[in-house]
Amino acid sequence: MQEVFLKLIEQLNGAVFILLLLLILAFWLVVKITRVITIFDKFKEERKEMKDDIKNDRQEMKDDVKKINDNLSEIKATVKLLYEGGLQTLKSHSPVSLTSKGTEISNNLNLQKMVDDHWSTIRSKLESKNLSNPYDIQVTAMEIAHDCFEKIFTKEEQDRIKLHAYNIGINILEIIPIIGVLSRDKYLLEKGIKVDEIDKHAPIK
C-alpha cells in the first residue's frame, strides 16, 4: 500500500512539472506574440505616417507648380500687352522707362514709398541672383515686381493698387511693371550704375 502511494506522488510530481513547463511555454508565447503584434502595429503606424507625408509632399509640389504656372501666365500676359499693344505705363524701347501715364499712376499710388518701405526685402532678392550687369538687373527687377505685389507688399497696399486699377479702368498687369522700374532705378543708383548702361549689355538680336 505504501509503495502504491509513493508511486502516485511521483506521478503527480511529474504532472505538476509538465504543467509548469506548459505554463512557462504559454507565457513565453504570449510575450512573443505581443511583441510581434506591437512591432506590426508600429510598422502600420509608420507606414501610415509615411503615406501621409508623401501625400502632403505631393500636394505641396502641386501647389508650387500651380504658383509657378500662375506667375508664368502673368509674365506672358505682360509680355503680350507690351508687344501687341504696348503698355500704357511703360515705354517699350530699352532701357525701359515710365510713360507720363505710368508716372501719374506711380505718384497717385505713391509706389516709390511702397518700394522704399520694403526695400530691404526687394534688395535681398536682387542680391541673391548674383547679377553681373545692368541689363540682368533690369530683367530681374521686372520679374521681382510680381513678387513685390503678391508676397512683399501688405494686403492693404495690394488692395489699394487693385482698387486704383479698377477705378481708372486699367489692367493691374500695367501697374506691376512700374514697381519693377522703380526697383531697378533704386538698385542701380545704390550700385553707382547709370540707367543708360543697360543697352550696352543687352543681348544682340
Contact 188, 194 (CB under 8 A): yes
Write the DSSP symbol of residue 172. G
pLDDT score for 93? 77
pLDDT score for 53? 66
Write the CB contacts of 150 (distance below 8 Å, at least 6 apart in sequence): 158
pLDDT score for 65? 63
Where the chain has pLDDT below 50, the residues are 4-9, 12-13, 17, 83-85
pLDDT score for 85? 47
- Whether the full predicted model's pTM is greater than 0.85, yes or no, is no
Element (H, E) at 90: strand 90-91
Hey, is 95 helix, strand or coil? coil
